[in-house]
Amino acid sequence: MFFKDIIGQGKIKERLIRSVHEERISHAQLFSGPEGNGKLALALAYAQYISCRNRTENESCGVCPSCRKYQKLQHPDLHFVFPIYKPKGVQKSYCDDFLKQWREMVLKSPYFGLNQWGSFIEAENSQLTIYSHESESIIRKLNIKPFEAEFKVMIIWLPEKMNIACSNKLLKMIEEPPVKTLFLMVTENEADIISTIRSRTQVIKIPRISDVDLQEHLTQTGLYDAETMAGMIHHAGGNYLKAIEFSEPSEDKKYFFDMFQNVMRQAYSAGKNNGAIIELLDTAEELAGIGRERQKDFFLYAMQLTREFFMMNLKKPSLVYLNQEEKLFGEKFSPFINERNVTHFNRIFEEAYLHISRNGNPKIVFTDSLLSIIRFVRK
């Protein structure tokens, strides 16, 4: 990965490059920031630059043996840890079991989220985590001397997904690592990482991608017309994944949109049609079976649409962030999201999200939340 391939983040690139030139590379760094801003790409480019044998003033050479191996993610001194699941019939599951898929995913594009990764490895309803026994593998790898490079690099993607036992076992290693060992952690929820690990890292805040940098990148691709690009940039809010999703909605996004429409139409009809209540209960049962991470994402999406339709109803087009299909539905539905019920909808979806996050029974959560909508959708 090269710095030049990362969208924007000029100041962060300069800071990382300067730390190499000044030989002030902190042994444990936490790249923290929102989804879709290139944190993982920065960690990869930084690690490649550190290990490059013929680096230039601001870029790795790309042709030395180290760079060639880094570009395939197959350098013997580069290691990865990331959330995984335990397939049926497997007693213990390690990140190395999914390393082939990880390399394929990252090489395709280092801009992706947890749900995309979960779909790619076919996790289905399983929750992704970094298991406690992964710490044994990490400690074993880092206690071995570097094979080729000056540094052994351990990139941990989403350390907030680490099992608490795994986190605790790594504390000593992170605080007093073997010589020339570098931890690069990439997080989207810094607050969810245990404080004893956060306090042992140098936190690097990665901001959202600026509109100017995003427009420059999209223009360089030559794939989008001016109108589409304007919509992508407006929708993105500095998140490259959301920009792409505007022009190419993911399967999950399409599914969530269909389910949201069904829920609202069924809830509206339920006041006069008992058959609609049965349909609503069927929808609740279907959503209860899609897996916790997707269930949480559905409620987040429902909160987002509620906000956007409320803005449409207030005639605030500059504050609306919807794709074309969502806007078409909103033109008819937005009057039903108004000042009398918007807070009720937000409370329903927010509480449901929290219950799912705390391992509440999905069938009970969805049944209760969807039936609650009936009370407010006609207000």
Residue 275 confidence (pLDDT): 80
In angstroms, the CA 131 to CA 167 distance is 9
Is pLDDT of 274 > 80? no
Is pLDDT of 271 > 70? no
Whether 61 and 67 have beta carbons less than 8 Å apart is answered as yes
pTM of the model: 0.81
In angstroms, the CA 231 to CA 56 distance is 37
260 vs 226, residue with greater confidence? 260
Residue 175 confidence (pLDDT): 87
Mean pLDDT in residue range 348-360: 93
Residues 6+ apart with CB under 8 A from 297: 115, 252, 256
Residue 340's pLDDT band (boundaries 50, 70, 90)? very high
- For 3-207, CATH number out of 3.40.50.300, 1.10.260.40, 3.60.15.10, 3.40.190.80 equals 3.40.50.300
Tokens representing residue 85 in the block: 């699941």
Is pLDDT of 303 > 90? yes
Mean pLDDT in residue range 295-313: 91
pLDDT digits (tens, 9 = 90+) for 87-133: 888 888 999 999 999 999 999 999 999 988 998 998 877 889 999 99
Share of the chain above pLDDT 90, in %: 67
In angstroms, the CA 152 to CA 372 distance is 54
Mean pLDDT in residue range 329-355: 92
Residue 298, CA distances (Å) to 106, 197, 226, 303, 305 in order: 25, 31, 31, 9, 10
Mean pLDDT in residue range 44-72: 95
